[in-house]
Amino acid sequence: MKKIILSFVFLTTCLLSLPVFSQIENEPVALGLPGDNLNLYAVLDIFQKSKTLEEFERAINSKDRNINNLDLNNDNLIDYIRVVSYRDGGSYSIVLRVAINRSEDQDVAVIEVNKNRYGKIVVQIIGDEELYGEDYIVEPSSENTFGTLNPGYLGNERVFNNTYWNSVFYVNDWPIIINLFSPSFVIYISPWYWGYYPYYWRPWTPVYYYNYWGYHNYYYRNPFYRRTGYIRYPLSYSYYSSRRTSSPIVRRNRVNDAYRRTYEGRTFRRPESPVLPRTREAIPRTRQENAPGNRQPMPRTRQENTPRNRSVHPTAPENRQPMPRTRQENAPRNRSVHPTAPENRQPMPRTRQENAPTNRQSMPRRDNPNQSGERR
């Protein structure tokens, strides 16, 4: 009887806790930053399904898709997101940029597309620090690779899955990636700017964040995309960083909490950040887990107890034999600096006559080359 009662109590507790867990899972989470009103999971999903950058720009600015809810200049109207592309070798930077006024722009995010030396292509979308904080990065996930309905995930032959921070999902078969690396592709820069927008677009009033979360909460639980804590190609990202555009107006509005009204005074919990790749929790341990407790001492190759009266500088042994000297020990002190020739030195023999005769006859002179020395 007692076991039946305990089983009933346990079952009742589990049933009552299910709505609580469901409520926590569906509860909105917020960064508390302007980027809460542009879901990068949804942006990357639209990017994967688009064929060209023009189509991608039109899709993220469509009112029917409810993706763009940004109002960075705080005029109570949705801002138009422009798409600007840069190319550096085999890498592309697809920048999402908003015109704050006639003279200032603000980058929202950048999609980094990189091809490695094996021809495999990797995609990451990186939120701008002003809008999303540091290291807000979303990438395709390699966890669900079999039998999905998403056309961008066709098999695990494109997945390198070693560890969490090294697992890469290659996107060579995405339609927009095929277009980017085709010979006919031309760098795309949106022709629209402040006060001049496409005919099909009209700004609308942004919705509150709680309603916006209701449109996109399923993106945070799907297996197709995930957050990561690091940039896979920092060198390519640095190429974009030198071209990044930031607006002082957005920075001032963020500092002054001008974007807080989108939360209607509510307080939402922050989303969980991914584990960074170089932390102790992420790196697999190859050594013994409990090193301090049962760590074996390292073997010592030198003598354990060295004599304490050992001299710092070694001294020569007392019974050391002197080195043999090859030169004279006591050289004469009256030795001249420059050696002098011996006094009884014989003079050198001379081969020529020392004193030539003074009465040497001169050679006869010829006045005429045809005449001899005597006159006829």
Residue-wise pLDDT tens digits, 10-56: 666 555 544 433 445 678 899 999 999 999 999 999 999 999 999 99
User: Tokens at residue 61, please?
Assistant: 């600015």
What whole-number distance in Å separates Cα of residue 255 and Cα of residue 33?
10
What whole-number distance in Å separates Cα of residue 263 and Cα of residue 233?
35
106 near 115, Cβ under 8 Å?
Answer: no
pLDDT score of 365 = 53
What whole-number distance in Å separates Cα of residue 124 and Cα of residue 139?
5
∠ Cα 128 49 43 (to 5°): 20
pLDDT digits (tens, 9 = 90+) for 267-318: 899 988 886 655 444 444 444 444 444 455 555 545 555 455 555 555 555 6
Which DSSP category does 29 fall into? B
pLDDT band at 155 (very low <50, low <70, confident <90, very high): very low
Amino acid at 139: E
What whole-number distance in Å separates Cα of residue 155 and Cα of residue 164?
18
Average pLDDT, the chain: 77
pTM of the model: 0.66
- % of residues, the chain, pLDDT over 90: 51
User: Tokens at residue 59, please?
Assistant: 């899709």
